[in-house]
Amino acid sequence: MGTEIVMYLDWKEVKIMLKIEIKTGGAAYRDENDKLDRSAYELRRNLKEIMEKLECGYQSGFIMDINGNKVGEWSLED
């Protein structure tokens, strides 16, 4: 099970794609009943980390959950 977020930005005929793929099947994304955590705490943490890396100039990277597992990747492409 995973979540894929793709955002296309079209500005002055320049197309930029931000692709984010996160596998949300692990324990970090589940509640005590093994259902997807509706508060989306871990997803929000992942997105905040991506935002911080973008601000530092990174163009891509791996996504790690709070338990240290690699759960996805993100990339900024033009």
| Count of domains for the chain | 1
Burial (0-12, 13-18, 19+ Cβ within 10 Å), 36: middle
The pLDDT mean for the chain works out to: 86
pLDDT at 11 over 90: no
pLDDT at 39: 84
The model scores a pTM over 0.85: no
Tally Cβ neighbours within 10 Å of residue 20.
Answer: 19
Domain that holds residue 64: 2-77
38-65: average pLDDT: 94
pLDDT band at residue 17 using 50, 70 and 90 as cut-offs: confident
Three-state SS annotation for 12-24: CCEEEEEEEEEEC
